Amino acid sequence: MQATVEPHASPDQEPTASDHSRSSSFVRFINVQKSYDGETLVVKDFNLDIQKGEFVTLLGPSGSGKTTCLMMMAGFETPTHGRILLKDQPITDLPPHKRGIGMVFQNYALFPHMTVAENLAFPLDVRRTGKAETKEKVQKALDMVRLGEFGDRRPGQLSGGQQQRVALARALVFEPELVLMDEPLGALDKNLREEMQFEIKRIHDRLGVTMIYVTHDQSEALTMSDRIAVFSDGVVQQLASPRDLYERPENAFVAGFIGENNRLAGEVLSIDGDVCRVRIDSGEEIEAMAVAVTQPGERTTLSIRPERIALGAGAGSLDNVFEATVDEVIYLGDHLRAHVSAFGGQQFSIKTPNNEDVGTLRPGQTLSIGWSRQNCRALDGQTPTH
Amino acid sequence: MTLPSDTPEGLTTADGRPLKASLEHAVRRHRLRALMLVLPLVAFLIVAFILPIGSMLWRSIDNPEVSQGLPLTSRAIADWDGQELPGEPVYAALYKDLETGYADRSIGRVASRLNYQYSGMRSTLMGSARKLGRLEGPPWKAAMISLDRDWGEHDLWRMIQREARPWTLSYYLSAIDMQYAPNGDIVEKPGYLQLHVKLFVRTLWMSMLITALCLVLAYPVAYLLATLPAGKGNLLMILVLLPFWTSLLVRTTTWIAILQQQGVLNDILVSLHVIGNDERLQMIYNKTGTIVAMTHILLPFMILPLYSVMKTIPVGYMRAARSLGAGPVTAFRRVYFPQTVAGIGAGSILVFILSIGYYITPALVGGESGRFITNLIAYHMQTSLNWGLAAAIASILLFVVIICYLVYNRLIGVDKVKLG
């Protein structure tokens, strides 16, 4: 069933400019464009609808425009064109401090001259919250990030992970409905990052606050998000759930950016509903899902995930079966990675569970490889830049 | 096989030498080489900085004239109780001293030194020395008093006893407009002679004013420098540094051209009919001139430390404050400003210390009302030739600077002073 979903068919796809009737969204970017120098667009026609309580990640390589979008949402950058709505109110002309949006910065931005508790009390102070209430809320927020005992410390006395948790608590303590996060875990080491991903997700689930999260780390995006917008060159390449993004990438960029894939360039021979036949450049014909191709004769890139390629005996019954030579076998404990070549030199990377069948793989060995057409997606013919 | 072994005397190296001695030997050459490199600087500092300051401090209390010029008298009067006039031995010693002093012409120095303290002393001493030949013999006490009746004055002897000591506080007293009364008490100088305290106070408050003006002018400039993109920032930095590359005299005299009564600024004001041609403003050769010119000259010393602190404050702090709900003013006041306090302190201490010791600019554009205490030091060095007093005033200035430095170090920390 995975392969039968039409692209652009999910209910929460990008709205168009004329799509104003549907106004239930919490946050809307409508045709937003941004240029710094008047010559190039950093963000080109950005559209995004975010529902209340959603966790949406803007994912992309650096320079793709994702942080600019976040800064426009926060009010630190002005859109060159287009509108941004928060709860159906345009906020483009609202200064940052009147937007009531919590924000977590990449370098934490904890005020070094204040204690942790004073940092947390800051947003409450400027809102003229009473002393007792402030104290209570600060303590509650510190307890939430499990730093209840650290109120009197200075940020400089905390570890990176603790500082990050304080920054998170500070962005949440004034109970904003929307929280923006700009690569908040970028400075942490791997273990801490994973722990914090879990922590942020837990807080998101508990408070039901809407979060927009910017990262260039795909595994972070896949772990945490309800939906991910993949950015490249100022354009959203695909907006979908993590699962759809990985299993049903709509173009070659997304397929290449999210996870690994094997790519085969070719030309469409025929299209029959969802299925198409493609002749790859070395002459072989392959059956694939017609994702981003519309007519025979088009150039296309076939994308196959390494773990969806079967080896040896398992390949026999599949839609596409070819002969390949093993170049290299890398032992990774729970799985093996094999680099094989087929079609006269085309490299394939294959990931396979470590079971008895593959224990005998040797470089130089010839064997069959195969995959079903559901796992082979015919995408746009552009050479991916990633 | 020899390894460092653990003997009762401590670790030794492979060949049995104590490890500590061996380490000392190995490190000594490096230390010596490093020392050689700084030696020229150390020598220069000693000759050009430490010795002059030491000499100045010494000179401010040094009092050799009387004890050298009247050695016998000085010794004889040391244990006088000060009740009755000194006895015969003191007068005999005085006779001898005057005789020797007149013969080798050293009496003049003593005479002018004592004249600072006791007017008329010059003629008393010189006259007595000249007329010594008329005396026939002891008793010298009556003889001396007969030569000059001042030798029978109680206060005069008290003053000689005081000044016969090899060191004195009288320069310091003079520097703060005090003096020894004839009877030895410390009293204020008569009003028409009071000059130093007024100048000290003026120097301090004008330096504070200049520091405050520099701060007000430098803060926005430093902020711009720290936040502008590199290209424009460099251009602005060159503009800030330009005064550094221009002669101090040129900068000061430029202000004369601008501010004098027939100067550029007055011309503009007259041509704009803000003031009439006959009411041109006096903006130079007074306090205004000193303040304007010195603020301009010292401005870079405020901008640079501020800039070096502001450069380290990421833009994220202000953004974080704004996103947390603080308006621009609140965000600045509560988040940005407190983080620049170190820079404000560093810049202020630099400008203030430079300012209280400034000489050329107040001398050129200060006129009478814009003079600093430094101008008085120069006066005593060059005109009145009272080096002891000049040294005492300079030493007081040095103490003020040291106190400022200590207060600053306690409050903010000297390691925070950076220029870029």
Question: For every one of its 420 residues, what pLDDT tens digit does chain B have, with 9 covering 90 and above?
Answer: 445 555 555 677 777 778 888 888 888 988 998 899 999 999 999 999 999 999 999 999 998 888 888 888 888 888 888 788 888 888 888 888 888 888 888 888 888 888 877 788 888 888 888 888 888 777 888 888 888 888 888 888 888 888 888 888 888 998 999 888 877 788 888 888 888 999 999 999 999 999 999 999 999 999 999 988 888 888 998 988 887 888 889 988 899 999 988 889 999 999 998 888 888 888 889 999 999 999 999 999 999 999 999 998 988 899 999 999 999 999 999 999 999 998 999 899 999 999 999 999 999 998 888 889 999 999 999 998 888 899 999 999 999 999 988 998 888 877 766 665
Cα–Cα distance measured from residue B333 to residue B409, given in angstroms and rounded to the nearest whole number: 24
Put simply, the chain B residues between 131 and 150 with a CB less than 8 A from any chain A CB are: none
A-chain CB neighbours of B326 within 8 Å are 97, 122-123, 126
Interface of B with A in 336-375 (CB under 8 A): 338-339
- CA–CA gap between residue B98 and residue A60 (Å, rounded): 100
Domain count, chain A: 2
Token pair belonging to B187: 């009293």
Please indicate, yes or no, if residue B4 is contained in any of the structural domains.
Answer: no
Judge whether B189 lies within some domain: no
Q: Are residues B68 and B44 in the same domain?
A: no
Cα of B320 to nearest chain A Cα, Å: 6
Query: Are A16 and A147 contained in the same domain?
Result: yes
Give the CATH number of the domain where residue B243 resides.
Answer: 1.10.3720.10
In contact, A266 and A283? CB cutoff 8 Å: no
Q: Are B338 and A100 an interchain contact pair (Cβ–Cβ within 8 Å)?
A: no
Q: What is the extent of the structural domain holding B35? A: 9-48
Among the partner residues A99, A109, A126, nearest to B320 by beta-carbon distance: A109
Please indicate, yes or no, whether residues A195 and A281 belong to a single structural domain of this protein: no
Q: Do B326 and A111 touch (CB under 8 A)?
A: no
Of A102, A109, A123, the CB nearest to B319: A109
Q: How many CB atoms within 10 Å of residue B402?
A: 11
Residue B56 included in any domain:
no
Residues A125 and A199 grouped into a single domain: yes
Asked if residue A133 and residue A30 are part of one domain, the reply reads yes
A112 CB neighbours in chain B (<8 A) are: 339
**Dihedral sign from CA coordinates of B135, B136, B137, B138:** negative
**What residues in A contact B319, CB-CB < 8 Å?**
74, 76, 96, 103, 105, 109
Residues A306, A204: Cα–Cα separation, whole Å: 33
Same domain, yes or no: B84 and B211: no
ipTM score of complex? 0.77
The helix (H) or strand (E) run that includes residue A301 is strand A299-304
**Domain range for A234:** 9-252
Residues 6 or more apart whose Cβ sits within 8 Å of residue B318: B331, B332, B335, B336
Q: DSSP string covering A222-258, please?
A: HHH-SEEEEEETTEEEEEE-HHHHHHS-SSHHHHHHS
Chain B residue numbers with beta carbons less than 8 Å from the beta carbon of A174 are: 324-325
Residues A207 and A266 in one domain: no
Of B317, B324, B338, the CB nearest to A126: B324
Choose among B314, B327, B334: nearest Cβ to A97. Answer: B327
CATH classification at residue A267: 2.40.50.100
Same structural domain for residues A35 and A146? yes
Could you tell me if B161 and B208 lie in one domain? no
Q: Which residues of A sit within 8 Å Cβ distance of B?
A: 74-76, 95-97, 99-103, 105-107, 109-113, 122-123, 126-127, 170-171, 174, 180
**Tokens for B54?**
């030491």
For residues B227 and B366, state if they share a domain: yes
Query: In this structure, are B44 and B118 located in the same domain?
Result: no
Q: Is the domain of B247 the same as that of B395? A: yes
Residue A202 lies in a domain: yes
| C-alpha span between A111 and A119 (Å, rounded) | 6
Q: Is residue B170 part of a domain?
A: no
Residues B38 and B80 in one domain: no
CB atoms within 10 A of CB B359: 13
B236, amino acid identity:
L
Shortest Cα distance, chain B CAs vs residue A149, angstroms = 23
**Identity of the residue numbered A12:** D
Closest by Cα among A304, A368, A313, A311 to A335? A311
Classify residue B3: in a domain, yes or no. Answer: no
B94 and B201 part of one domain: no
CB A252 within 8 A of CB A260: no
User: Which residue has 């600077």 as its token pair?
Assistant: B401
Q: Is the CB of residue A57 less than 8 Å from the CB of residue A217?
A: no
Nearest CA among B35, B59, B58, B39 for reference residue B47: B39
Tell whether B146 and B265 lie within a shared domain.
no
Which residue(s) pair with A74 in the sheet? Answer: none
Shared-domain flag, residues A63 and A160: yes
Examine the domain organization and report whether B158 and B204 are in the same domain: no
Residue range A153-203, pLDDT digits in tens: 999 899 888 898 899 999 999 989 899 999 888 878 888 888 888 889 988
**Which residue out of B309, B315, B319, B324 would a mutagenesis test of the A interface target, given it has the greatest number of A Cβ atoms within 10 Å?**
B324
Would B171 be classed as within a structural domain? no
Q: Is the peptide bond before B314 cis (omega within 30 degrees of 0)?
A: no
B242-276: b (≥16 Cβ within 10 Å) or e: ebeeeeeeebbeebbebbbeebebbeebbeeeeee
The two most distant CA atoms of chain A are separated, in Å, by 76
Q: What are A27-71's pLDDT values in tens digits?
A: 999 999 999 888 888 888 888 999 999 999 999 888 888 889 999
Same domain assignment for residues A188 and A284: no
Per-residue model confidence as pLDDT tens digits over A118-127: 999 999 999 9
Instruction: Flag if B324 and A75 touch (Cβ within 8 Å).
Output: no
Contacts of A171 in chain B (CB under 8 A): 323-324
Strands A43-50 and A210-215: unpaired
**What are the chain B neighbours of A127 within 8 Å (beta carbons)?**
325
Contacts of B317 in chain A (CB under 8 A): 109, 111
Tell whether B173 is covered by a domain. no
**Is residue B130, in this structure, part of any structural domain at all?**
yes
> Residue A164, class by beta-carbon neighbours within 10 Å (0-12 exposed, 13-18 middle, 19+ buried)?
buried
Q: Does B334 touch chain A (CB under 8 A)?
A: yes
Helix H or strand E segment including B307: helix B287-310
Number of H helices, E strands in chain A: 8, 20
Query: Does A95 sit within 8 Å of B320, measured CB to CB?
Result: no
Do A185 and A300 lie in one domain? The reply is no
Interface touch B320/A111, C-beta < 8 Å: yes
Task: Check A76 against B319: CB less than 8 A apart.
Answer: yes
Q: Is residue A155 located within the same domain as residue A224?
A: yes
- Bridge-partner residues for A337, per DSSP? A330, A351
Q: Do B322 and A105 touch (CB under 8 A)?
A: no
B303 with B275, same domain?
Answer: yes
B245 and B371 part of one domain: yes
Asked which of A252, A272, A305 is the last residue of a domain, the reply is A252
Q: Whole-angstrom Cα distance, residue B161 to residue B173?
A: 17
Give phi and psi for B363, each to the nearest 5. -65, -40
Residue of A nearest to B317 (CA): A109
Burial B369-401 (b: 16+ CB within 10 A, else e): ebbbbbbbbbbbbeeeebbbbbbbbbbbbeebb
